[in-house]
Chains A and B, each alone.
Chain A
Amino acid sequence: MQSKKKQAGAAVGFFFSDLSSVLFNNNDLLFASIQSRYISSVKSELFRFSVAKSLLLSSEEKSELLSAFSFQIVVVRITCVAFDFLCITLMNTVLRKHLFIVVELSGMSSTNGTVGHIVSASSGMSSNLHISSEETCSEKAPFISQTSEVLRSTAFRDFLKENNTSSWCTDSLSDFLEYPENSPIQSSNLQIMPCEDVGKPNDWQDWADQLITEDDGVTPNWNEILVDTAVADQIPKMECHAGKSSRTSLTLQVNSLVPASPGETCSPVTPSPGGSQSKPRMRWTPELHEAFVEAVSKLGGSERATPKGVLKLMKVDGLTIYHVKSHLQKYRTARYKPEPSSQGPSEKKPTPLQELSSLDLKTSSEITEALRLQVEVQKRLHEQLEIQKNLQMRIEEQGRYLQMIFEKQCKFGIDSFQPASSAPEKSETELTNEISSSPARTKTESDPVKVGSPSSDNQKVELDPSESQPSKRAKLNESSSTESS
């Protein structure tokens, strides 16, 4: 039992570190199915969004998108029928999150034998979710509060404590924890965040901290992380001052850009990672420029104005004389060589303008038309760029969201294990079926930690065409009822 616990603990580490690669690279099918199921839920904002977005696309693109999704649904052979069903009926986002985590957990089993333990564990975990199709949201409310509590419980921490991890587990955990600062901070930017009653970034942060402090055997690595994160914490406070010149703290500084930008008092200033001490990068805005122009004109024009004078007049926090100086230089250049087509983008080009003055109106209107066309092309490009950028952002948001709920569920799902049924291939379906069929029960730490056997054959889990649902359900009901007795 002990060794199995250890394995499971080790698997947790591995599991975290490999989550992304498994889910998003090696396990595309699984993820796709999760995604498709998720998206199939009409309540999903994401789906709504993608539909809305798809309206902006041409019909061709739209059908491409939709067909991509439907293709995934067809291809995936995970028996997520119950899961699918649940998604639709599930109103409560918390529970939905749990479900995703659970299914994703089961996905892990395909890549790592030991993770199978987690699978069975989480199946036990999820059993108390007890969602059946007939139940409405309101009925689930009591479970939600229970599960929320569990999430915040220290069960996971304790469990990890028991299992002194192997070195690779630590490493992968450290790797994974490398960027803990970002997630908490950035999650506030997530717009599609469903109701966060299970705690927000702070939970994640706490959990990370707990992990760090808990296990003595691996302190060295984690101390590193502690230092990293601690420094990252301090950096936001310093960003208004001169930028750091040290290149070694680049990573941290780039991290600090994240908290730095939103809602800082010296908003125009963006700290430049690795920039020289005296020239933190300044991000100009039209308003700032207006103030600049005003100050310059008050001082008698761009030629007569001095950087110092302008700086004084502008009275903007965080603005240094270097900023003003360089800006003034640009300003002067722009004024006295207005729109030089000879600068910058110069290629071979006989300026049509020379022709213009000597030619008749017909040509000039031709030119105008050509310009008009140019604008059209440019507009088109810009349009597409905006669409593309939005799509890219949404893709990442979605990935991040799933990652996050997955982590939260992990924290929740590792608390205890459940004996898996004898058939390894069914571990995934076990999971989902258990969700649907298990009787409600309070999650307690006292649940016996039994690690099941399914491991070696789990590679084919997601490709396994399901056996008949009812029979599986029956089996699981059996096992879960024996559990609960």
Chain B
Amino acid sequence: MKFGKRLKQHVEETLPGWRDMYLNYKDLKKLVRLISSSLEYGKSEEAEFVYLLNNEIEKFNVFFMEQEEDFIIRHKELQQRIKRVNESESSSQGEYEEEMARIRKDIVDFHGEMVLLVNYSNINYTGMAKILKKYDKRTGGVLRLPFIQKVLEQPFFTTELVSKLVKECETTIDELFPTVVVMEVEMKEAATMMAGEGIFRNTVAALMTMKEIRKGSSTQSHFSLPVLSLPDTELIRSFQLNSPIPIV
């Protein structure tokens, strides 16, 4: 399946507030086609294209940094919450458990959201790389290489901080979750129940999308990423049973 379609699907699947924040791949593709079909290709067309790309980059940066800021705040807040819950001796066991359960759910969702932001960054980068490649191919330009270097430096692509937060989150999660052995069946049931909802659905979808995007394509080259193979593909795919928009 083509990237454009994949992207579109992903955007439909993604968090509502994020839908407008993705790359306008379709429009840019149209523009490339327009430019390549027009007989005289000059600097002004390229400038226009670059202008649009820069707009997109700006959009990504703004959104990304906003989210990042939010994550930083929420991360701290969660830590505070955990601290408070652990330190408050006045609450009963039940209350404690309740709060912990809430915290657990929240932190897992938080983790998921952060990962989704990294995914967002990556998908947009991939889209950019693709559209630039298309541009060069269609118009014989040399836009791609220098431009992509620029993109690599952009805030939205430098996801190190978010990744760091993700890892910290994972450590916290490991601490929070009691080691309980549960039967396979129950686990699957519970998982499926949860899979239809919220962040989990998004992350599953994102993972599948990623896999699909990286499936061997006709234009696979030395610049292409290798095919993604996940050991748990089937399991993950089963999570999508509840999804209204199945990703094939």
Contacts and interface: CB of A to CB of B under 8 A. Distances in A.
20 contacts: A21-B137, A21-B141, A25-B136, A69-B222, A175-B141, A183-B149, A284-B69, A289-B72, A289-B76, A334-B74, A349-B197, A353-B98, A366-B190, A367-B101, A367-B105, A370-B193, A374-B191, A377-B207, A395-B223, A400-B149
A320 to B, nearest CB: 15
B109 A368 contact: no
A68 B220 CA distance: 10
Given A25-B136, A61-B226, A389-B159, A366 B153 contact: no
Interface of A is mostly: helix
A385 interface: yes
Contact of B231 (A58, A334, A345, A349): A58
A72 interface: yes
Contact of B68 (A255, A283, A345): A283
Interface stretch (A12-20, A126-134, A234-242, A442-450): A12-20
B222 A32 contact: yes
A346 B113 CA distance: 12
Nearest to B97: A364
B105 to A, nearest CB: 6
Contacts of A21: 136-137, 140-142
B165 to A, nearest CB: 8
B65 A349 contact: no
Interface string B16-52: 1100000000000000000000000011001100110
A400 B189 CA distance: 50
A176 B229 CA distance: 39
Interface in B121-153: 122, 125-126, 129, 133, 136-137, 140-142, 144-150, 152-153
A102 B76 CA distance: 55
Contact of B111 (A19, A186, A290, A378): A378
Contacts of B197: 347-349
Contacts of B157: 389
Interface stretch (A89-97, A157-165, A269-277, A414-422): A269-277
For this complex, into which size category does the number of interface residues on chain A fall? 35 or more
Contacts of B62: 272, 281
Interface of B: 15-17, 42-43, 46-47, 50-51, 54-55, 57-58, 61-62, 65, 68-70, 72-78, 81, 94, 97-98, 101-102, 104-113, 115, 118-119, 122, 125-126, 129, 133, 136-137, 140-142, 144-150, 152-155, 157, 159, 161, 163, 165-166, 170, 173, 177-178, 180, 182, 186-187, 189-191, 193-194, 197-204, 206-207, 210, 214, 220-223, 225-232, 236, 239
Given A341-B198, A365-B182, A378-B111, A179 B226 contact: no
Interface in A368-420: 368-375, 377-382, 384-386, 388-389, 391-393, 395-396, 399-400, 403
Contacts of B136: 20-21, 24-25
B79 to A, nearest CB: 11
A286 interface: yes
A191 interface: no
A381 B202 CA distance: 11
Interface string A294-325: 00000000000000000000000000000000
A20 B203 contact: no
Nearest to A285: B161
B112 A366 contact: no
Contacts of B166: 382
A393 B51 CA distance: 23
B81 A61 contact: no
B194 A20 contact: no
A384 B153 contact: no
Contacts of A386: 118, 163
Contacts of A393: 152
A17 B17 CA distance: 41
Given A68-B226, A254-B57, 7 more contacts: A261-B153, A274-B55, A286-B76, A341-B109, A365-B180, A368-B178, A381-B206
Nearest to A335: B77
A405 to B, nearest CB: 13
Contacts of B75: 286
A64 interface: yes
A83 interface: no
